[in-house]
Amino acid sequence: MIQSKSQNENRWRISPLLVAGIFLVLAAAIAWAFISSYSGGRESELQVMTQAAFEEETGVHVNLIGVVGGGGLINVRIKVLDTEKATRLFHDPDITFFLIAEDSDITLLPPDDMEYAADFEADRAYNVLFANTENAIKSGSLVTVVIGDFQLEHVIAQ
């Protein structure tokens, strides 16, 4: 009888490997939901634009998407063309600014504590650094830049 009770207890014991697997699946689902809230969920709302139209709507020109820091960082250099438009976009907490690595669909976000210049100056370049998650962007990669509802595709990283 003691052996029978012990066998029943072992039957209901959960393997630590199973618990770890469940945890990984849940973590992946949460990460996917978080990332899709920035890009996948909004793709239908985004306006794909030419460089000229993007500049007209956002007030900025994307000068460079550079892979720096041994590949661990992405430097996005923007030149402000229209201070009013740029200020409105970059200081609105409801407007998102992110990059999408086109070959992998990985979304890169600026740091949470990113602070933009209080007042943008026309014809001045500003840099924004992004962590290059999973080395998603390499020199030569095609990148989509998203600012608010405006999307500029096929920018070549250097």
- How do residues 61-119 score in pLDDT, each as one tens digit? 999 999 999 999 999 999 999 999 999 888 888 888 999 999 999 999 988 777 777 78
- Answer yes or no: do 27 and 103 share one domain: no
Residue 128 has, within 13 A of its CA and on its CB side, a CA count of 25
Cα–chain-centroid distance for residue 8? 49
> What is the predicted pLDDT for the residue at 39?
45
The reply to whether 16 and 53 lie within a common domain is no
Strands (E), 81-157: 97-101, 106-108, 125-131, 142-147, 150-156
77 and 118 belong to one structural domain:
yes
Q: Are residues 65 and 105 in the same domain?
A: yes
Residue 7 domain boundaries: 2-38
* Cβ-based burial of 50 (10 A; exposed 0-12, middle 13-18, buried ≥19): exposed
- As a whole number of angstroms, the distance between CA 96 and CA 157 comes to 20
Which is more confidently placed, 140 or 49? Answer: 140
Written as six digits, the tokens of 62 are: 């994307």
Instruction: Give the number of domains in the chain.
Output: 2
CATH number for the domain spanning 141: value is: 2.60.40
What's the pLDDT score for residue 42?
A: 46
Name the one residue in this structure whose structure tokens are 């007209």.
56
Average pLDDT over residues 115-128: 86
pLDDT digits (tens, 9 = 90+) for 17-35: 666 656 665 555 555 555 4
Q: Are 145 and 151 in contact (CB under 8 A)?
A: yes
